[in-house]
Structure 1
Amino acid sequence: MNTRRKQGGITLLGFVIVAAVVGFFIYIAIKLFPMYSEYYGVKSALKGLAAEPGVGNYEPRRINDLFFRRLYVSYSKNVKQEHVKLTRIDGGWQMDVQYEVRTPLVANLDVVGKFHATQNLIRSGEGN
């Protein structure tokens, strides 16, 4: 009796190729995670600032100080004073944070992330 067993599966070369592709995507995810983590820290700081009672009545200098204190707690290092813009609106302020993060990827290739967040700071403490 001649029984042949068919073997199924992946060859060593196929496994190496799949592992290289998966590894490359994991490497990119590791490089991008800090950028997006910082952006969510900025969004969180804006929401926390908007929840502050009477923040719409504060002076711009005090609002900036409170915002950057919240960013300091979340270890944000890419947002600078020149990236923050306060605009007077009915009932308070509108805070816009627009910044860019450049992270080296491979050799001379960089990943550039452009982030923009807006929050209304209303006198009653309710925000956008």
Structure 2
Amino acid sequence: MKRQGGFSLLVVMALGIVMSCVLLTFFKVVPVYSEYYAIKKTVDELAATSGKSDDELRRAFANRMPIQDIVSVKPADLLILATPGATGVGVRYRREVPLAGNVGLVFSFEHQAGAPVLTANN
């Protein structure tokens, strides 16, 4: 008689738990990075426009927020350097994502485009 081999029920359950944890983390992290790339694209587009004031750039960002589904950054969070020769737009923010109970992830993002506006102090 041949001895049967394979996974036991305990191993299958353990694999299921591990895979569900990995999938939960994946589905919580993907929207955070999706929003970061939307913010990055918007900041790049704002920095490419020249001759606009701080208020005009903030208003343009506020108009794009619902379209790009941006919720982590408000127009007041933008650091803007608008001079006649160059425009610089930067943003630095943190996003907290709860996983389960009191366990969560914290993401810190930073992006600038155009003239340098972000320093270590702001």
Match for residue 61 of structure 1? 55
User: What is the rounded CA distance, in whole Å, between the counterparts of 2:76 and 2:103 in structure 1?
Assistant: 26
Aligned partner of 1:34 in structure 2 is 31
* Residue 95 (structure 2) pairs with residue 98 (structure 1): no
Contact kept, 8 Å, 2:51 with 2:84, in 1: the verdict is: no
What is the rounded CA distance, in whole Å, between the counterparts of 2:68 and 2:83 in structure 1?
28
Report the residue type matching 1:10 in the other structure. F
TM-score (norm 2): 0.81
Q: Give the length in aligned residue pairs.
A: 115
**TM-score, length of structure 1 as denominator length:** 0.78
Matches of 1:119 and 1:31, distance apart in 2:
27
* Larger relative contact order (CA 8 Å, sep ≥ 6): 1
Match of 1:120 among 102, 114, 119: 114
**Match for residue 79 of structure 2?**
85
| RMSD (Å), alpha carbons | 2.0
CA distance in 2, matches of 1:98, 1:27: 26
Alpha-carbon distance in 1 for matches of 2:69, 2:99: 22
Deviation at 1:82, TM superposition (A): 3.4
- Select the structure of larger CA radius of gyration: 1
| Range with bigger deviation, 90-99 or 29-38 | 90-99
1:7 positional shift? 2.9
**Structure 2: segments with no counterpart, 5+ residues:** 116-122
Partner of 1:91, secondary structure, is: coil
Q: Cα gap change, 1:8/1:90 in structure 2, threshold over 3 Å: closer, same or farther?
A: farther
Aligned residue number for residue 15 of structure 1: 12
Distance in 2 (CA, whole Å) between partners of 1:94 and 1:40 is 18
8 Å Cα contact 1:86-1:94 kept in structure 2: yes
1:66/1:5 CA distance change after superposition, 3 Å: same
**1: distance between equivalents of 2:109 and 2:32?**
9
Structure 1 residue 5, shift from structure 2 partner? 2.9
**Residues 1:94 and 1:50: Cα distance change in structure 2 (over 3 Å):** closer
Amino-acid identity (%): 25
